[in-house]
Structure 1
Amino acid sequence: MHVVVNAATSADGKLSSRKREQVAISGESDFARMDRLRAESDAIVVGVGTVLADDPHLTVKDEALCERRAKNGRPEQPARIVVDSSGRTPVDAAILDDAAPTYVCVSDDAPVDRRANLTDHANLVSAGDDRVDLLRAFAGLQEEGLERIMVEGGGELIFSLFECGLVDELRMYVGGTVIGGRDAPTLADGAGFVEDFPSLALERVERIDDGALLCWTVDEIDD
């Protein structure tokens, strides 16, 4: 499995404001790049916080890209994945429509009624006790044939994926704006590292509009 984290941040590293509402950080050129990256992927992943805040659809928008996928023998749309330990994804969320298959990763302790409701709208992947065990969940997703995974946030999920050693690439668009705020979400929230920080190798820098796309690979840690 190959996992690519893709995100857009302000110049000071924020994903959105302290209100956790969407902020226009990038423009049309970067949206098109993101759409191409989606089209290259087998599945797109977000955390439940992103679903609750933004209600994303997570589909490829360019019809030509969808047609190209179909010509190559792939589904027109990549699958969608929600990491949702307690099963909070609303059953009317856009990500649960029939545009593409959706997988919801829950913990074994997720309430039975929520699991039952989600089963009617998505494929459930149960892994971990009170929180989703990402290593187990992603192994299960790989068994479903999902090999190239694109992660779109949010910060808690991205940190957890780095913590588990699951990230292979980080592609980050840095926009020409400052959001600020100690409570505004960053690229990698969560508990944070105090040692054994993940090391990144810068592969490419590209100017896009008034910002820059930074592309890193994650260095392997020697045992």
Structure 2
Amino acid sequence: HLRAGSDAVAVGMGTVLADDPLLTVRDVSPPRVPPLRVIFSREGRLPLTSRLAQRTGEAPVLVFAAAPDPNYDHELRGLGVDVVPASTLADALRVLAARGVRSLLVEGGANLATALLNEGLVDRLVILRAPVLLGEGSLPAFRGLAADAPNPRWETISSEWLEEDHLVVLAPRT
């Protein structure tokens, strides 16, 4: 439901390499326009064999790269992937806004989520907590969150139980 209600869905390159996600809407009626699939990467090297690169017909794919490789970009563009230079996350968000993206769902990973929080670029946190204890080797939701990050205090906007899982939506306290 979260993907279907978003203009774009984003992950970092670490998530792409670990999970090979599709980032498409599933289990609900598809939206009239599928969300743009966005990948944030320093070099823009989305694997050519990834499901995102191979299935661009399902929904558009956009890669933001701080230092894109023109030769590799050419190969990605040949698969239908749009590669856009963006030196900062704020620059990338401005490009998305100029393209009509008003809601961006960031699904992961920890490095991207932390960078967005550290730069004060998050206006909602949606946290889904499951009754599962994760042990050694599990991945954190955030990594290296700065003590002086903007919006360090959050308030609960909504809270809902989805069977055994607890969905909480937070917004920066003003």
Q: Does 1:195 align with 2:160?
A: no
Percent of matched pairs sharing the same residue: 29
Higher helix proportion, which one? 1
Q: What is the aligned partner in structure 2 of residue 7 from structure 1? A: none
- Cα deviation for residue 196 of structure 1 reads 4.2
- CA distance in structure 1 between the aligned counterparts of 2:167 and 2:41, rounded to whole angstroms: 29
TM-score scaled by length of structure 2: 0.89
Q: Distance in 2 between matches of 1:203 and 1:38?
A: 19
3-state secondary structure, aligned to 1:201: strand
Q: With a CA cutoff of 8 Å and minimum separation of 6, indicate the structure with the bigger relative contact order.
A: 1
Matched, 1:48 2:5: no
- Classify 1:219/1:125 alpha carbon distance in 2 versus 1 (closer, same or farther; 3 Å): farther
Give me the whole-angstrom Cα distance separating, in 2, the residues matched to 1:144 and 1:209: 37
Matched with 1:16 is none
- Corresponding position: 1:87 with 2:44: yes
Q: How far apart, in 2, do the equivalents of 1:59 and 1:174 lie? A: 22
1:127 aligned partner, one-letter code: A
Q: TM-score, normalised by structure 1?
A: 0.71
Alpha-carbon distance in structure 2 between the residues aligned to 1:161 and 1:91: 26
Give 1:46 shift.
0.5
Superposition misfits of 4+ residues, deviation over 4 angstroms: none
- Is the Cα–Cα contact under 8 Å of residues 120 and 149 in structure 2 kept in the other structure? no
C-alpha distance after superposition, 1:45-97 (max 9, x if no partner): 0101111111111111146x22xx32xxxx1x111000011122111211231
Q: What is the Cα-based RMSD across aligned positions, in Å?
A: 1.7
1:110 aligns with 2:110: no
SS at match of 1:152: strand
Q: What residue number does 1:37 align with?
A: 2
CA distance in 2, matches of 1:184, 1:219: 30
Structure 2 portions without partners, runs of 5+? none
